[in-house]
Structure formats: structure tokens, C-alpha cells
Structure 1
Amino acid sequence: MKIIVPMAGIGSRLRPHTLTIPKPLTLIAGKPIVQRLVEDIAAVLKQDVEEIAFIIGPTFPKDTESKLLAIAKDLGAKGVVTVQETALGTAHAIQCAKESLNGPCVVAFADTLFKADFTLDENADGAIWVKQVENPSAYGVIKMQDGVITDFVEKPETFISDLAIIGIYYFKKGEILRNEIQYLLDNDIKDKGEYQLTDALENMKKKGMKFVPGQVDEWMDCGNKAITVETNGRVLQFAKQAGQNLVSTSVILENSEIIEPCYIGDNVKLINAKIGPNVSLGTNSVVENSTISNSLIQTNTTIKNATLDNAMIGNNVEYNGDFTSISIGDYSNLV
């Protein structure tokens, strides 16, 4: 099995946190979003992953490739990194990894996490993971009949269906997808000014290929600050339910309390602090005279004299203040 991960977007909705770190490498409960994504896919499919191809943007930091290759290696897979020089749509992004599009593969866009218990239909040519949503006009959606997908529609202006495509797809033969996308590119077939994956899927369906929906139990977005903090909390809750302890044994506690679920990284120091529930606090951070709940805080950050709730704070930050629901990017100093 191969996994193709388009992740070239600049993450503008999550700024300032994506000014220095690509959104898929943002830590959620101590792990990058993209790492959690590929681990979840491997667990759901119950198959070994032999290769992971990442498609990144041209302005990503220089160390992005090494971080992604390490994520692939941790899963026992070969890592491949390619660059999408110009943002020309979902199909164009996938085609940047065309050398990896052969045999069984999963395409997964790296701005979402999910929980599912799903068994692949061996008689189907592919599967599309979907979730019922309240505002389908913001998504690609499917229509289906008798358990088989009949239509793919990109961001419908009028109601077609409320089953939204969450951005994860399985293909029994990746080379067929590669050829269909190449047809779109060669013939300049665009929708809303971009080369859309849904157009390739529609062409494949018209040629007799059978796609089935894969229902997800939980769909967790990481689009902006508020929903990323919420997703962090959900991931922590799942970890607690699974009996996982995400608090490092190297945490130094001085007159402090941790209310589970929390992720507390290595070499964190808590002084007169109350942390949790639903808090991730990155490695080498210090919290003093503060209360923090429902918040996502990255590494090497110092927080003093604060009461935080629904906050997101980046790496290498110093914060000493009275604001509660804050969003502070990397290398900021508010004292």
C-alpha cells in the first residue's frame, strides 16, 4: 500500500501559526498532524505501508523534507517528497507524485484527522471517505444508490447531497487515477479555474469503475485556530479512552496539578500551575502561576501569570498577560 499526501497549501486560515511551520507539521498532542493522519490510515486499512509520497509547497522551510522522511521511516515506509510549484487544484497536486501512483494507494489531504472502523470492499475499485455535514456547499459531495457512489460534485451551489468528501480516497489501481488526471491536464479541463480530483473520479465512474463510501465516525478539521484547538482536545480524549498516558515522566511539578486528558512533553516545568483538561504543552516549556485549559501550546514556550482557555500558542514564545482566548505565533514575546 502507498499513501499520497498533498500538503502544499500555505495554511492561511491558521496564521500566524503557519508563518514558520507548515500546517501539516503543526503538533497536535505532541505529534505532527500529518504523522497522525498516516498512522490512522495504516491502522484502518490494516495493511503495511511501503511508500509515502508527500507533495509540499515551494516556500516550505528547508527542513520540511527531512521531517517528512522521518515520519515515513517511523512507519517502516519509504518516503518521497515532491514540490507543487503552482497551486492549480487537487488533481494537479496529486499528479506531482505521479511516479508513486501505481498499485493500491490512498490519497489523503493533510488538513484533517479522522476516526473510523472501515473494511475495504474487495469488489470495489475504490473508496471515498465521507461524513454528513450541515453545509455541503463548502465541500465536494457524493450521491449514492444501493451502497455505490453515483455522482461526485465539487462544492454544489444548490443542494445535491450532505455527504461531504473528507479528503481521503482509496484506489485499487493508482495508475488508472494517474492516467485520468493526466487527461485533465493535457486537455486543460478545469472546474472553478482548477484541475479537480472530482472530475477525474467522475470520468472513472463513467468508465464503469465502482466506488463505495467509507463512513467515518469522527472528522476533525485543522483549518483555523478554534477548530484546531478543538481537534487537539478530541485527540486527547481518544488517547485517554485508549488508556494512553501522554504526560512525560520528566515533567517537574512544583505545587501544580494536571487534570487529564493532557499531553505534557519532556522537560516541562510547572510551578504553581493548574493544567487541563484538554491541554497539549510542548517540550522544554515552563508554566508559572497560571491556569490553562482547552489549549494547544507548542515547544520551548514560557507562560507566566496567565489564565488561558481555548488558546493556541506557538514555539519559542514568552507570554505574561491577562488575555484568555489568545492566538500567538512562533518567536513572539508578550511580557
Structure 2
Amino acid sequence: MKIIVPMAGRGSRLRPHTLTIPKPLIPIAGKPIVHRLVEDIAGVINQEIEEIAFIIHKDFGDQVPKDLIAIAEKLGAKGSIYYQDQPLGTAHAIMSAKESMSGPIVVAYADTLFRADFTLDTTADSVIWVKQVEDPSAFGVVQLNNKNEIVDFVEKPAEFVSDLAIIGIYYFKSGEALREELQYLLDNNVMKGGEYQLTDGLENMKQKGMKFVPGKVDEWMDCGNKPVTVETNSRMLGFLHADGENMVSDGATVENSTIIPPCCIAEGVVLKNATIGPNVSLGKNTRVENATIKNSLVQTNSVITNANLDNAMIGNHAKFDGKFTAISIGDYSVLE
């Protein structure tokens, strides 16, 4: 099994945090979004992961490919790096990794996390991960027949046809079949809104008689902007705490401080006269003194003093000393 991860977008809605690193490397409950994503996919498919192919932009720099390859290797897989330099749509992005599209593959967009408990139907030509939503008009949805097979894809339906939203994760029994359909779109300039769309390839595959079925997830968590990313961090912390995972490092220093779970406290964190939690992630080597923090996400090597933070997101190497609460400051920022 191979996993294809298109992630060339910078993530403008999450600025300033994505000015220095791409959104999929923002940590959620102590791990980058993309790391948690591929781990969860591996758990659902329950098969050996041979390769993880990451599609990035050339402007991401030299360190990002190294970090992504390390994530793949932690799962026992080969890491491959491909580049998409023009934003020409979902099909174009996936085809940037066409050399890795062979055998069974999973395509997963790296801006979403999920929790699921279902068995992957490897007899189907394709499985599309979906989540039941209250307002399907804001999403692309799938329509099912009485055999639980997908018979139609509808983008943001004005009238109700289904409440099963496509979350952006797909399984294909044949990577070669998907590659052939997407290559057809590129060769024949089949575009919508100036972009090559994956759904056009899926529709062509369905018309040829290929079997599509849904894979229903229990939880679907977005990381599109600061408020929902902080919320996703809180929800993930809650899930991991319920699973019994210890998220407070033995390498943290805690002096006259209280930790209210669920929290993720990384190695090298120093807490002095602080109250942390619930729903707080503190990255490596962050120092918090004379402060109260809840419902917040703080990355690595930052210093927070004399603060009362709630619904905050702070980047790497930042310094904050003040009375603001729902803040969002990026890497190397200083407020004191």
C-alpha cells in the first residue's frame, strides 16, 4: 500500500503560522498534522505501508522534505518527495506523484484529521472517506444506492441529495487506473474553473463500471484557520486522553504548577507558577511562568510569562508577556 499526500498549498488562512512552515507540519497534540493523518490512515487500512509520497511546493525550503521523509520512516515506509509548482487543481496535484501511483494507494489531503472505526473494503475499486454533516450544502457529497454503493458525486448541493460529505481521503485498488483517468484529463485539457479536478476522474471511473463505496468516519477535524485548528487540538487531546495515552513528558520541569488534563506537555518544557489546561499543547523547550493557559496551542522554544491565555495559538521561538488572551502570533514574534 502507498499513500499519496498532496500538500503544496501554503495555507494562507492559517497565517501567520504558515509563513514559516507549511500547514501540514503545524503540530496537533504534539505531532504534525500530516504525521497524525498518515498514522490514522495506517490504522484504518491495517496493511503494511510501502511508500508515502508527499507533494510539496519548491518554496518550502530544504528542511521540509527532510522532516517529511522522517515521518514516513517512522512508519516503516519509504518517503518520496514530489513538487507541484502551479495550483492547477486536485487532479494536477496528484499527478505530480504519478511515478508512485501503482498498486493499491490512498490519496489524502493533509489539512484534515479523522477518527474512524471501519474495515477497509479492499474488494471495491475505490473507497471514499465520508462524514455525516448537518449542512451538506457547504460540501461535496456522495449519493448512495440501496447496495451502499456510491452512484453520484455532487458538489455543494443546493437541494438535499445526501448528508455524507467527502472529507478528502480516498482508497484506490489500482493506482494505475486512477493515473490513467487523471492523465486523460490533463491530455485533453478537461478543466473546471481553470483547474483539473479529481472528481472528474472519479466520474469517468464510475461510468466505466468501477465500484465505489463509502468509508464512514466518526470524527472529522479541520485545520483550516486558527480557531478551528485550536479546536481540533483540543478535540484530539480529548481523544488521546480517553485512549489512556500519557501526553506529559517525563522530561518536563514542573514547579509549583498545576496541569489540568487533557494536555500535551513536551520534553524540555518548564512550568513555574503556572496553571496549564485543559486542552493545551506545549511544544518542546517552551517556558511558561506566572501564567494560566487553557484551550491553546503553543509550539516549540517559546517563552510565555505573566499571561492569561484562552483560545490562543503561538508559534515557534515566540515571546509573549502581557494581558491579551485569544491571541495568534507566529514564529519569532515578541510581545512584551
Q: Kindly tell me: are residues 260 and 7 of structure 1, through their superposed partners in 2, closer, same or farther at Cα, counting changes over 3 Å?
A: same
Q: Is 2:214 aligned against 1:210?
A: no
1:143 maps to 143
RMSD, aligned α-carbons = 1.1
What is the Cα deviation at residue 239 of structure 1?
1.0
2:118 maps to 118
Contact 2:44 2:120 in 1 (8 A): no
TM-score by length of 1: 0.98
The one-letter amino acid of 1:177's match is L
2:18 maps to 18
Q: Percent identity?
A: 67
Q: C-alpha distance in 1, partners of 2:250/2:121?
A: 43
Contact 2:190 2:196 in 1 (8 A): yes
1:264 maps to 265
Contact 1:108 1:167 in 2 (8 A): yes
2:55 maps to 55
Q: Is 2:198 aligned against 1:197?
A: yes
Please identify, of 247-256 and 204-213, the stretch whose mean Cα deviation from structure 2 is larger: 247-256
SS of residue paired to 2:289: strand
Alignment of 1:306-321 (within 5 A): 306-321=307-322
Q: Is 2:31 aligned against 1:31?
A: yes
What is the Cα deviation at residue 136 of structure 1?
2.8
The one-letter amino acid of 1:292's match is I
1:83 maps to 83
For 1:46-105, what per-residue CA distance to the aligned partner results, in whole angstroms no more than 9, with x for missing partners? 111000000001221221100000001110001100000101000100000001111111
What is the Cα deviation at residue 122 of structure 1?
3.5
Q: C-alpha distance in 2, partners of 1:87/1:136?
A: 26
Alignment of 1:91-240 (within 5 A): 91-146=91-146, 147-240=148-241
What is the Cα deviation at residue 160 of structure 1?
3.6
The one-letter amino acid of 1:208's match is G
Q: C-alpha distance in 1, partners of 2:13/2:126?
A: 31
1:330 maps to 331
Q: C-alpha distance in 1, partners of 2:70/2:123?
A: 34
SS of residue paired to 1:59: helix
Please identify, of 135-144 and 44-53, the stretch whose mean Cα deviation from structure 2 is larger: 135-144
Q: C-alpha distance in 2, partners of 1:305/1:219?
A: 35
The one-letter amino acid of 2:318's match is V
1:45 maps to 45
Structure 1: gaps (5+ residues): none
Q: C-alpha distance in 2, partners of 1:47/1:231?
A: 27
The one-letter amino acid of 1:201's match is L
Q: Kindly tell me: are residues 195 and 156 of structure 1, through their superposed partners in 2, closer, same or farther at Cα, counting changes over 3 Å?
A: farther
1:286 maps to 287
Contact 1:258 1:275 in 2 (8 A): yes
For 1:188-241, what per-residue CA distance to the aligned partner results, in whole angstroms no more than 9, with x for missing partners? 111222111111000000000000000000001100001101111111111111
What is the Cα deviation at residue 159 of structure 1?
4.1
For 1:90-143, what per-residue CA distance to the aligned partner results, in whole angstroms no more than 9, with x for missing partners? 010000000111111100000000010111224311100011223334322111
SS of residue paired to 2:58: coil
For 1:135-162, what per-residue CA distance to the aligned partner results, in whole angstroms no more than 9, with x for missing partners? 3343221111120000112334554432
Q: C-alpha distance in 2, partners of 1:158/1:193?
A: 26
Structure 2: gaps (5+ residues): none
